[in-house]
Chain A
Amino acid sequence: MQRKLVLLFLAGTVMLFALSVVLFTIADNDEEYKQIVLKQQSYESREIAYERGEILDRNGTVLAGNERVYNLILDPKIILENDGENRESTVNALVECYGYDREEIENILDTQPSSSYVRYERQMDEDRKAMFDTWVEEYEAAQKSGETEAKGDVVGVWFEEEYKRVYPYDSLASQVVGFASADGTSGRMGLEAYYNNELTGVNGREYGYFNDDATSERVIEPARNGYTLVTTLDAYVQQVCEKYVNEYNEQVGSRNTGVIVMNPQNGEVLAMAMKNSYNLNDPSDMSNAAPIEELLTMSGTFSQEKIDQMTEEEKKTNAMNEMWKNHCVSDTFEPGSTAKTFTIAAALEEGKITGNETYLCNGALRVGGHNIHCHNRAGHGVLTVTQTLMSSCNVGLMYIAQAEGAEVFTRYQEIFGFGQSTGIDLPYEATAAGLLYSAEDMGAADLATNSFGQNYNVTMIQIAAAYASILNGGNYYEPRLVKQIIDEEGAVVKNMEPVLVRKTVSTSTAEFMKNALYQTVEGGTGQKAAIEGYAMGGKTGTAEKLPRGNEKYVVSFVADVPADYPEVFIYVAIDEPNVEKQSDSSQATEMCRNILREILPYLNIYPTEEIEGEETEETEPAQETDGEETPEEGEAGEGEEADSNPITIISSEEIYEEGGFTGDGEADEENPEDGENPEADGESAEGGESGQSGEENPEDGENPPADGEGQSDGEDAGSGEDPPAQE
């Protein structure tokens, strides 16, 4: 046992000795490993910033880009090295070059002597950075030539590269583009938020690496920059739209104004403009927007009660969010008469009407025990289907909706995408799903009012997408804002093809509707929109807001050019125009006309019709294409008929008579916060609230019956139940 123990001890000794030798051989690489360790220290956390992807318009104009900026970094550890022999010279350099506060820098050196990274100034531009380099160069030269007595080098100051998000056009398409956080890592609002994953890249890295000989090498793993978005927006069209929106709100004013310009053939959005655009380079600047109180009430997100409870700080935050919001996709409202097109299209498509019917309008129709008036209290007389649209006759539309029935009507609301997300590539899209009737809940009066676009809510983009589907022959495309994603070299990463969601109507129905819209501008309520030389379609809309009888309206206008094969669709909606008589839709019509007049030639859409009278001189090739005027020629007969019709419709007011809907007092008390802005809750796609209000609001819609009863006088006066006059 003794010997064995000694043997074991010797074995242990030998092994430990062998390991010591191994240790010695490892330590023999002394210098090399020292370098590696040192390099690891300096490289480990060195990141190379990526560049956030740009956002371009359809022609390559940069809507959102980046600027290279520099952060000034102090390295106190290095500055204080060697007993601080370079301390004074370095501080001098900083103070003299940039005029920094000497005390502050000395303070940093004293309090953080072992730190290697103190960010002293952020986001300096190229010139400001160069100032320092030049200063140091001159200083060193002076030292060499003996011009200066100063000793010591400038050390421990370096510049870190970064990118700063810039928006060359400041406020252009602000609510659509959105903005990104200052460091460009996350998008807030708009396309910046929706496409954040595509826009962000991956940071690169600089690090020490060991090759086969275990010598260290400096390796740079480059950053992968974010992808660039090529949008469908057209900067010029957008500018024109914003110009008129801003001009209108400066001169006349409104609660809100929205414009959408779209290519109906593929759902590409060319422009989307609204009130209160803000500077994307300084999104918290509210100086150009409406006052805070006005912003808060703008889209009805907050009830007055809620606003009163807010602190000043909350008010400001909420107002800012309202300002940033894209009202064209996030706010809902009652569309009014622009939606009549869909009522007629549905009836035609389902064969409930043939298009040859005529209806007698006596100024009101008794539905479900109430008299619902036409905007023309005197009555329009006998109208064809086309003429009901031209004159925007509520009575005619009620007859048509009766022919359809609630089931067909609601089914087609679904087909046209109401109450659903359009799928547009923007965040926070509202659907207003809770503000639509289902076929079971829909009473006769609800159907009647729905037929002319009251008592249910839509977003602007829903109306635009649904119109586009009729104008292009029945294809409902997802409206979209981005058509291509490309990488920094310009190679295509993803092509965003038009997404066909469904067929809405057949070609024949689409043709009928296009013609009816054309006739509306030719000889109906849309005449004021007509631009000489252009064959265009259009439809007015005037929707009375809740609570009824307050004389508050949303006026709107849709138009398409050219009428036979529309390449441009425009939708203008003005919420509560600041005029004596809000129900006059000419406000929207005029803006629409002004915008079209400027953008049509730009979009290479030229007049196709001969311009009458003296004006001919200024237009030239209009006659060339004359022969192709299908809508005009095809419907010439009907046009005559319209002329021969004793009723001429021209008043652009088409709201149904207020009488039927006034005295809504009860309803108001029940739903005070729904008030005049049913969209308030519908738009915020945040859980419970929207669901609740969705149920509440149809009840609102059911109020007309109750109120109507109180209006027995009006009932008697009205002509009651006139059956549709069939031809």
Chain B
Amino acid sequence: MAGKKKKREKVRRYYDYSLLVTIVFLCCFGLIMIYSSSSYMAALEYAKSDGAAHYMIRQAQALALGFVGMLIISKIDYHFYKHFAVLGYVVSVVVMILVNYTPFGIERNGSRRWFGIPGTNKSLFQPAELVKVALILALACAISYLVKWIDKLRVVILLLVIAAIPTYLVITNNLSSGIIIFGIACVMYFVASRKKLRFAVILAVVAAFVFVVLEFGDQLVSLGILKDYQLERIYVWQDPGAYPLDGGYQVLQGLYAIGSGGLFGKGLGNSLQKLGFVPEAQNDMIFSIICEELGLFGAGCLIMLFLFMIWRFMVIAQNAPDLFGGLLVVGIMAHIAIQVILNIAVVTNTIPNTGITLPFISYGGSSIVFLMAEMGLALSVSNQITYEK
């Protein structure tokens, strides 16, 4: 790997350039794919303003901001961020409450997920993305303080509460982000804990719940545990072909896109499905357009790249100077891994459809800015790794 060494007095500082290169590559690749998948529809929709490049320009702007932020964050010792753990957590919870229960929340496409200025309908960012960073920081902090008693019931409950509050606030409007947030918390705890059995139990409970939902969905709806539209999505998932015009449309069109791409794809820019068939092709469904244009080969390369990235996180976490740093990177790793896996699973109809973006690739300004901040944190941890030569 292309690790470069920095000289600082006697000890040398490490900086994970291979991770940095991967990040840069993914971001550029994302910009190209956003342009490819959105240019046709954008040219129709924004003919009078930006035209075809509408989405790409906006993504590039957010990306530039995020990239500068990442470099700055990565150059500061990550222990400095400990001071913001409590503040960040409180702020993210307050913002979530504002979004959920006050006019600061702005609705888009039927979901109230945006923080904005009341009355103007101008949205600023999606607080769920802020919550992810804040929770990773807060949990890493809390666990590293409490690591001695990590398997005591009281501590478990405390950590559970810390994770549950933002999860609950997010999940009311955004099931997928809620799952990701809680998943991150579970993984972080799993890594810190010395027990294994309880995780097996948790997995078993989740599996049982999935089974119950599939078998007794109707009863759960009548009991009010499950919402109607959620059950509907499960039905659509089981047989998308039966709902070609309603819920199954998006998934079905995504599958056609993947299928029609074949092994090497139709070539960059030659997707037919992006011409209005796959809705929001630059967003959640961008992976299907990648498959269509670049084929299984391109999609495979992308997956390998993500895998490489996760591996880099693992290496950083293993070599982190202290538990706090390690947990920080574990949280980030969990975030990227879960989101990539879920996104590809949705696009391939392996799990029911729920709105999850593909990190670095999908269009989304606030998502990319917070993601780059996380990358900054990971790089900052890597930068604190010392070794002697």
Name A1's contact: one of B191, B300, B334, B345 (CB within 8 Å). B191
B365 surroundings in chain A (CB, below 8 A) = none
Check A4–B303 contact: CB distance below 8 A: no
**A307 lies within 8 A of chain B by Cβ:** no
- Which chain A residues in 1-52 approach chain B with CB under 8 Å? 1-2, 4-6, 8-9, 12-13, 15-16, 19-20, 22-24, 26-30, 32-34, 36-38, 40-41, 44
A6 surroundings in chain B (CB, below 8 A) = 314
9 extra interface residue pairs, beta carbon distance < 8 Å, beyond A27-B296, A33-B260, A210-B241 = A2-B318, A8-B187, A19-B341, A19-B344, A22-B348, A26-B348, A27-B258, A36-B260, A37-B273
A22–B299 Cα gap in the complex (Å)?
12
Chain A interface (Cβ within 8 Å of chain B)?
1-2, 4-6, 8-9, 12-13, 15-16, 19-20, 22-24, 26-30, 32-34, 36-38, 40-41, 44, 210, 214
**B356 lies within 8 A of chain A by Cβ:** no
Name B263's contact: one of A2, A27, A29, A38 (CB within 8 Å). A27
Chain B interface (Cβ within 8 Å of chain A)?
187, 190-192, 241, 244, 255-263, 272-273, 275, 277, 291, 295-296, 299-300, 303, 306-307, 310-311, 314, 317-318, 323, 326, 330, 333-334, 337, 340-341, 344-345, 348, 350
Q: Which of B259, B291, B311, B323 has the most CB of A within 10 A?
A: B259
B192 surroundings in chain A (CB, below 8 A) = 1
Q: Which residue of A lies closest to B299 (CB)?
A: A23
A335–B63 Cα gap in the complex (Å)?
80
Name A22's contact: one of B307, B330, B350 (CB within 8 Å). B350
Pairs across A and B, CB under 8 Å, 25 listed:
A1-B318, A4-B190, A4-B191, A5-B191, A5-B330, A8-B190, A12-B341, A13-B307, A15-B341, A16-B307, A16-B341, A16-B344, A19-B303, A19-B341, A19-B348, A20-B299, A23-B291, A23-B299, A23-B300, A30-B263, A34-B262, A37-B272, A38-B272, A40-B272, A40-B277
B272 surroundings in chain A (CB, below 8 A) = 37-38, 40-41
Check A26–B255 contact: CB distance below 8 A: yes
A29 surroundings in chain B (CB, below 8 A) = 259
A40 surroundings in chain B (CB, below 8 A) = 256, 272, 277
A4 surroundings in chain B (CB, below 8 A) = 190-191
Check A37–B256 contact: CB distance below 8 A: yes
A37–B311 Cα gap in the complex (Å)?
37
Interchain nearest-CB distance for A215 vs B (Å)? 12
Check A16–B330 contact: CB distance below 8 A: no
A29–B299 Cα gap in the complex (Å)?
16
Interchain nearest-CB distance for B273 vs A (Å)? 6
B306 surroundings in chain A (CB, below 8 A) = 16
Check B191–A8 contact: CB distance below 8 A: yes
B345 surroundings in chain A (CB, below 8 A) = 19
A24 surroundings in chain B (CB, below 8 A) = 296
Interchain nearest-CB distance for B190 vs A (Å)? 7
Name A210's contact: one of B244, B261, B340 (CB within 8 Å). B244
A525–B296 Cα gap in the complex (Å)?
98
Check A16–B255 contact: CB distance below 8 A: no
Check B256–A33 contact: CB distance below 8 A: yes
Interchain nearest-CB distance for A438 vs B (Å)? 51
A1 surroundings in chain B (CB, below 8 A) = 191-192, 318, 323, 326
Q: Which residue of B lies closest to A211 (CB)?
A: B241
A34–B272 Cα gap in the complex (Å)?
10
B275 surroundings in chain A (CB, below 8 A) = 41
Overall SS of chain B's interface: helix
Check B344–A8 contact: CB distance below 8 A: no
Interchain nearest-CB distance for B192 vs A (Å)? 7
Name A27's contact: one of B262, B310, B350 (CB within 8 Å). B262
Q: Which residue of A lies closest to B193 (CB)?
A: A4
A23 surroundings in chain B (CB, below 8 A) = 258, 291, 296, 299-300, 344, 348
B273 surroundings in chain A (CB, below 8 A) = 37
Check B307–A12 contact: CB distance below 8 A: yes
A210 surroundings in chain B (CB, below 8 A) = 241, 244
Interchain nearest-CB distance for B100 vs A (Å)? 32
Check B260–A20 contact: CB distance below 8 A: no
A2–B330 Cα gap in the complex (Å)?
11
Check B296–A8 contact: CB distance below 8 A: no
A33 surroundings in chain B (CB, below 8 A) = 255-256, 258-260
Name B303's contact: one of A16, A26, A27 (CB within 8 Å). A16
Check B341–A37 contact: CB distance below 8 A: no
A19 surroundings in chain B (CB, below 8 A) = 303, 341, 344-345, 348, 350
B258 surroundings in chain A (CB, below 8 A) = 23, 26-27, 33
A44–B345 Cα gap in the complex (Å)?
28
A33–B337 Cα gap in the complex (Å)?
29
Interchain nearest-CB distance for A651 vs B (Å)? 75
Interchain nearest-CB distance for B323 vs A (Å)? 8
A2 surroundings in chain B (CB, below 8 A) = 318
Q: Which residue of A lies closest to B326 (CB)?
A: A1
Interchain nearest-CB distance for B184 vs A (Å)? 12
Check B191–A32 contact: CB distance below 8 A: no
Interchain nearest-CB distance for A7 vs B (Å)? 9
A5 surroundings in chain B (CB, below 8 A) = 191, 314, 317-318, 330
A28–B260 Cα gap in the complex (Å)?
9
Given A4-B190, A5-B330, A27-B291, also A12-B337 (CB < 8 A): yes
A26 surroundings in chain B (CB, below 8 A) = 255, 258-259, 348
A30 surroundings in chain B (CB, below 8 A) = 259-260, 262-263
B291 surroundings in chain A (CB, below 8 A) = 23, 27
Interchain nearest-CB distance for A34 vs B (Å)? 4
Q: Which residue of B lies closest to A37 (CB)?
A: B260
B191 surroundings in chain A (CB, below 8 A) = 1, 4-5, 8
A50–B134 Cα gap in the complex (Å)?
60
Q: Which residue of B lies closest to A6 (CB)?
A: B314
A37 surroundings in chain B (CB, below 8 A) = 256-257, 260, 272-273, 277
A214 surroundings in chain B (CB, below 8 A) = 241
Q: Which residue of A lies closest to B338 (CB)?
A: A12
A23–B346 Cα gap in the complex (Å)?
11
Q: Which residue of B lies closest to A214 (CB)?
A: B241
B330 surroundings in chain A (CB, below 8 A) = 5, 8
Interchain nearest-CB distance for A669 vs B (Å)? 55
Interchain nearest-CB distance for A4 vs B (Å)? 5
A23–B296 Cα gap in the complex (Å)?
7
B344 surroundings in chain A (CB, below 8 A) = 16, 19, 23
Interchain nearest-CB distance for A588 vs B (Å)? 61
B260 surroundings in chain A (CB, below 8 A) = 30, 33-34, 36-37
A15–B183 Cα gap in the complex (Å)?
15
Given A19-B350, A27-B261, A34-B262, also A8-B341 (CB < 8 A): no
A37–B259 Cα gap in the complex (Å)?
9
B244 surroundings in chain A (CB, below 8 A) = 210
Pairs A-B, 5 closest by C-beta atoms:
A33-B259, A33-B260, A37-B260, A34-B260, A12-B337
B348 surroundings in chain A (CB, below 8 A) = 19, 22-23, 26
Interchain nearest-CB distance for A210 vs B (Å)? 7
Check B303–A36 contact: CB distance below 8 A: no
A33–B288 Cα gap in the complex (Å)?
13
Q: Which residue of B lies closest to A212 (CB)?
A: B241
B190 surroundings in chain A (CB, below 8 A) = 4, 8
Check A16–B340 contact: CB distance below 8 A: yes
A41 surroundings in chain B (CB, below 8 A) = 272, 275
B340 surroundings in chain A (CB, below 8 A) = 16
Check A34–B314 contact: CB distance below 8 A: no
A318–B337 Cα gap in the complex (Å)?
71
Q: Which of A13, A15, A37 has the most CB of B within 10 A?
A: A37
B314 surroundings in chain A (CB, below 8 A) = 5-6, 8-9
Q: Which residue of B lies closest to A4 (CB)?
A: B191
A44–B187 Cα gap in the complex (Å)?
46
A221–B296 Cα gap in the complex (Å)?
36
Interchain nearest-CB distance for A622 vs B (Å)? 72
Q: Which of A6, A27, A41 has the most CB of B within 10 A?
A: A27
A41–B270 Cα gap in the complex (Å)?
13
